[in-house]
Amino acid sequence: MERRMSVATHWGSFVAVVDSGRLVRIEPRPDDPAPSSIAPGMVTAAEDSARVLRPAVRKGWLDGTPRVDGGARGSDAFVEVGWDEAITLVSEELRRVRSRHGDGAVFGGSYGWASAGRFHHAQGQLHRFLALGGGFTDSRNTYSTAALEVILPHVIGGHPWSYQSRMPMWDEIAENGELVVAFGGLALKNSQINPGGLAKHQTQDLQRRCREAGVRFVNVSPIRGDAAGFLDAEWLPVIPNTDTAAMLGIAHTMLVNGWHDEDFLSRCCVGFDRFAAYLVGEVDGVRKDAAWAAGITGIDAEAITDLARRLTSKRSVIMVNYAVQRADHGEQPIWMSVVLAAMAGSMGRPGGGWGAGYATMDATGVARGRVSVATIPAVPNPVADFIPVARIADTLLHPGEFIDYDGARLTLPELRLIYWCGGNPFHHHQDLHRLSRAWQVPDTVVVHEAWWNTTAKFADIVLPVATGLERDDFAAGFSDPHLVAMPKVREPAGESRTDHQIFAALAARLGFEAEFTESRSESEWVRHLYERTRAELGDDALPGFDDFWRISTAALPPLTGPFPGDLADLRADPGRFPLATPSGRIEIFSAAIDSFGYDDCAGHPTWFEPAEWLRADLSDRFPLHLISNQPASRLHSQYDNGGHSLGSKIRGREPLTMNPADAAARGIQNGMIVRVHNDRGSCLAGVILSDDLMPGVVQLATGAWWDPVRPGQSGTMDRHGNPNVLTADRPCSRLSQGPSALSALVDVEPYDGTPPDVLAFAPPRITPPS
């Protein structure tokens, strides 16, 4: 008999159809106007041959005395062991590393998206376990927006993500806005996603409503498809990584024509004079006029002038996406976009001003926030050391060295044990060959994974975990604020256990089980977190747990604010409503950043040439700019083995989009298998030709499971198409130390001969113990 059960994921809420305990299919919810196509493919992936079925230990690690020989990580065979032995190995190794090298030698940053669910939150479980056990070195900021997170508090104050509640929402733009200029576009493919889940996808309808209300859209991006067709957006192709120069050219034009909002700049901002001196060339002898900007960005001077005029004469919004800041000097386009909006005259006015991340996730621009929902409780980490998230390879390779970070000096700690749970560094980190060299350094790498992806293959101990379909939990929506039940819709594959069960067993062995579990079972935890949320909201706000579990969704009350740092308040009365910056105003010039004395991040927005871009010397050898953006067919590397992603491949390879002119010059035709390469590495990909991509640019989405021909050998070709074999592991600047994945040059050539089989989804060799 068929049963229908609720499913919640980062790509939306769905209905699972289960027959006699078997998951048959996953269907969209009838009330979701734009369901994601990722979910149906979860069914076959749940039991494909890539599943990790039993705990497994790398052979060289198991046989090693002492167990510190890293050399073969990534190429070694694995030995399967029982859970009892696995728990013994991990708990003893944690004890050894802590007593010999200190608690800070355990790295638990474990960046990654894991799965939706308030209780089974992988990093939350790991951090709680490691903190109770003595502590761990953590990581700070995200691969998504590290540069933004560090620069914005200097410029507009407040929590790094508070801009999400301070920028105009889509419905306000529909009502009051006239012009949206979107640097990096508004790719709808990205708003399939919302961290932690969502009940309904809303961005598409909201964008449509803006267009129907007459709002004009300008898509400043190398890719036309970054704006939906129904927006009728003007497309201004921009040379990647030059948005700051484009914005400076617009700002200069506003300034010399006197179109800028002098009142707002003088009352609500500080440092415009210093910045204006830079704009007109008093600082470096270079006038940042429209012609200058045109020479850098590839956008016509007339178009730049026209934007300056329209931005200042209409109710306008300047939007920036996140990709523009995952680049060399990525702090600059974010800072400069705020300055440009402050000049344009709509800042702090209804439906106008500035905002970031619209359409990058469904909730952004949809709701200002959500009431707080209980999650697995955090425990303070006794270790204070942290690393900027993208500096993991540097840390492993250069312990003891110093790096700058937001005005501080950090010593890179010596890490002996890496514990990763809920992320995939061998997808997400830049320059994977460098990462795989760094990865040989620590004594031990422990990974919880459901699939034999590359991170699992590069581990010493792999513990198989149940997926979000294989445990009871509930998710919290954001854009359409609902709690969504996540009952277990299938049994865990093989001998998989939940992250929580694994940590509870380890905590028992290490003597702190009661502290870790608080003596609750998993189902008691889920009920407890729900009931705590309900109690905090007042008993009438939500149904009791049993009713919620039966009806599957419960609406959360709206978050009504106040939202500190509101820009309309600032415009109205900056004395009464100062921002949380040192000056209380928007910092066009930041004395704090200036005082750091960095050569790669000055006291005001500045154009710095990226290390790799189309006008760099390196472009003589590698003349194409690689855009490694988010995949339309999956979330990062998740469900690359699912049907939707597999269906997007070209003869098993990740699709690479290129302009027909660039292809013709290289003898490349549509559908061909090509080799994409630079000095850092190479990968195969299948070509799609498109005029919707500007010449000189190629696009290869992230997330194809890395498939090195000779794992462990530097530079070895990737058969599958992971762009991070080509990207540079270079910080944005000394300020944020963020990742700069979008600054990479490559070349592409036809691949001669029969391409090797893709083995990305094949498990490693499993051998009997010796």
Q: How far apart are CA 474 and CA 477, in angstroms?
A: 10
- Report 737-766 residues binding ligand MGD (CB under 6 A): 741-742
Token reading at 716: 């070895």
Q: Where are the alpha helices (DSSP H) in 406-521?
A: 425-428, 432-438, 454-457, 499-510, 513-517
In terms of Cβ atoms closer than 10 Å to its own Cβ (0-12, 13-18, 19+), residue 665 is exposed
Q: Does 460 bind ligand MGD (CB under 6 A)?
A: no
Nearer to Mo ion (CB atom), residue 222 or residue 631: 631
Q: Among ligand MGD, Mo ion, none, what binds residue 120 when CB lies within 5 to 8 Å by partner kind? A: ligand MGD
Q: How far apart are CA 390 and CA 403, in angstroms?
A: 13
Q: Does 630 bind ligand MGD (CB under 6 A)?
A: yes
| 442 secondary structure, DSSP code | S
Nearer to ligand MGD (CB atom), residue 451 or residue 478: 451
Q: How far is the CB of 658 from Mo ion (least distance, A)?
A: 25
Q: How far apart are CA 252 and CA 230, in angstroms?
A: 32
Neighbours of 273 (CB within 10 A): 11
Per-residue x/- track, 488-527, ligand MGD (CB under 6 A)? -----------x----------------------------
Nearer to ligand MGD (CB atom), residue 446 or residue 586: 446
Q: How far is the CB of 143 from Mo ion (least distance, A)?
A: 6
Q: How far apart are CA 4 and CA 9, in angstroms?
A: 16
- Judging by DSSP bridges, how do beta strands 417-421 and 106-107 pair with one another? parallel
Per-residue x/- track, 117-156, ligand MGD (CB under 6 A)? ---x-x--------------------xx------------
Among 8, 324, 438, 732, binds ligand MGD (CB under 6 A): 324
Check if 83 is active-site: no
Q: Among Mo ion, ligand MGD, none, what binds residue 553 when CB lies within 5 to 8 Å by partner kind? A: none
Among 114, 366, 676, 683, binds ligand MGD (CB under 6 A): 114
Q: How far apart are CA 684 and CA 690, in angstroms?
A: 19
Q: How far apart are CA 722 and CA 685, in angstroms?
A: 9
Contact (Cβ atoms closer than 8 angstroms) between residue 325 and residue 152: no
CA nearest to 612, candidates 694, 730, 717 = 730
- Report 410-439 residues binding ligand MGD (CB under 6 A): 421-424, 427-428
Q: Where are the alpha helices (DSSP H) in 367-465?
A: 392-397, 425-428, 432-438, 454-457
Q: Which of 61, 113, 452, 639 is catalytic?
A: 113
Instruction: Count Cα neighbours of 380 within 13 Å in the Cβ-side half-sphere.
Output: 2
Among 12, 134, 185, 655, binds ligand MGD (CB under 6 A): 185
Q: How far apart are CA 251 and CA 269, in angstroms?
A: 15
Backbone angles phi, psi at 186, to 5 degrees: -140, 55
Check if 113 is active-site: yes
Nearer to ligand MGD (CB atom), residue 255 or residue 698: 698
Q: Does 162 bind ligand MGD (CB under 6 A)?
A: no
In terms of Cβ atoms closer than 10 Å to its own Cβ (0-12, 13-18, 19+), residue 100 is exposed
Q: Among ligand MGD, Mo ion, none, what binds residue 607 when CB lies within 5 to 8 Å by partner kind? A: none
Neighbours of 486 (CB within 10 A): 29
- The H or E element containing residue 536 is helix 522-537
Q: Which stretch binds ligand MGD (CB under 6 A): 43-51, 235-243, 533-541, 589-597?
A: 235-243
| 220 secondary structure, DSSP code | E
Per-residue x/- track, 673-712, ligand MGD (CB under 6 A)? -----------------------------x----------
Q: How far apart are CA 62 and CA 59, in angstroms?
A: 5
Q: Among ligand MGD, Mo ion, none, what binds residue 91 when CB lies within 5 to 8 Å by partner kind? A: none
Q: Which of 11, 61, 111, 235 is catalytic?
A: 111
Contact (Cβ atoms closer than 8 angstroms) between residue 469 and residue 488: yes
Q: 62-79 as b/e, with b when 16 or more CB fall inside 10 Å? A: bebeebebbebbbbbebb
- Report 331-360 residues binding ligand MGD (CB under 6 A): 360
Distance of CA 560 to the CA centre of its chain: 28
Among 105, 465, 683, 717, binds ligand MGD (CB under 6 A): 465
Q: Which stretch binds ligand MGD (CB under 6 A): 148-156, 317-325, 405-413, 682-690?
A: 317-325
Report whether the peptide linkage leading into residue 562 is cis, meaning its omega lies within 30 degrees of zero. Answer: yes
Total H helices, total E strands in the chain? 26, 29
Q: How far apart are CA 491 and CA 501, in angstroms?
A: 15
Nearer to ligand MGD (CB atom), residue 91 or residue 743: 743
Among 58, 636, 680, 719, binds ligand MGD (CB under 6 A): 636
Q: Does 451 bind ligand MGD (CB under 6 A)?
A: yes
Q: Among ligand MGD, Mo ion, none, what binds residue 59 when CB lies within 5 to 8 Å by partner kind? A: none
Among 113, 272, 335, 549, binds ligand MGD (CB under 6 A): 113
| 72 secondary structure, DSSP code | T
- Report 355-384 residues binding ligand MGD (CB under 6 A): 360-361
Among 39, 56, 132, 193, binds ligand MGD (CB under 6 A): 193
Q: Among Mo ion, ligand MGD, none, what binds residue 260 when CB lies within 5 to 8 Å by partner kind? A: none
Q: Under rule CB under 6 A, how many of the chain's residues touch ligand MGD? A: 62
Q: How far apart are CA 400 and CA 412, in angstroms?
A: 5
Nearer to Mo ion (CB atom), residue 323 or residue 510: 323
Q: Which stretch binds ligand MGD (CB under 6 A): 12-20, 171-179, 321-329, 656-664?
A: 321-329
Nearer to Mo ion (CB atom), residue 13 or residue 702: 702
Q: How far is the CB of 737 from ligand MGD (least distance, A)?
A: 15
Among 70, 240, 388, 464, binds ligand MGD (CB under 6 A): 240
**DSSP 3-state percent helix, strand, coil across the chain (nearest 5):** 30, 20, 50
Sheet with 22-28, side-by-side order of all strands: 2-9, 12-19, 22-28
Q: Which stretch binds ligand MGD (CB under 6 A): 208-216, 247-255, 478-486, 636-644?
A: 636-644
Catalog residues that contact Mo ion under the rule CB under 5 A.
144
Q: Does 59 bind ligand MGD (CB under 6 A)?
A: no
Token reading at 197: 């889940």
Q: How far apart are CA 696 and CA 613, in angstroms?
A: 10
Q: How far apart are CA 354 and CA 342, in angstroms?
A: 8
Nearer to ligand MGD (CB atom), residue 566 or residue 654: 654
Q: Does 187 bind ligand MGD (CB under 6 A)?
A: yes
- Judging by DSSP bridges, how do beta strands 402-405 and 408-411 pair with one another? antiparallel
Q: Which stretch binds ligand MGD (CB under 6 A): 198-206, 376-384, 450-458, 658-666?
A: 450-458
Nearer to ligand MGD (CB atom), residue 338 or residue 361: 361
Neighbours of 384 (CB within 10 A): 9
Among 61, 107, 119, 183, binds ligand MGD (CB under 6 A): 183
Instruction: Measure Cα distances from 227 to 211, 216, 255, 297 in Å.
Output: 12, 12, 29, 19
Q: How far is the CB of 465 from ligand MGD (least distance, A)?
A: 4
Nearer to ligand MGD (CB atom), residue 193 or residue 586: 193
- Report 243-272 residues binding ligand MGD (CB under 6 A): 243
Q: How far apart are CA 375 and CA 268, in angstroms?
A: 38
Residues constituting the chain: 770
Q: Does 553 bind ligand MGD (CB under 6 A)?
A: no
Site residues (vs ligand MGD, CB under 6 A): 112-115, 120, 122, 143-144, 183-185, 187, 189-190, 192-193, 220-223, 226, 238, 240-241, 243, 321-324, 326-327, 360-361, 421-424, 427-428, 448-451, 453, 465, 499, 627-632, 635-638, 702, 723-724, 727, 741-742
Catalytic residues: 111, 113
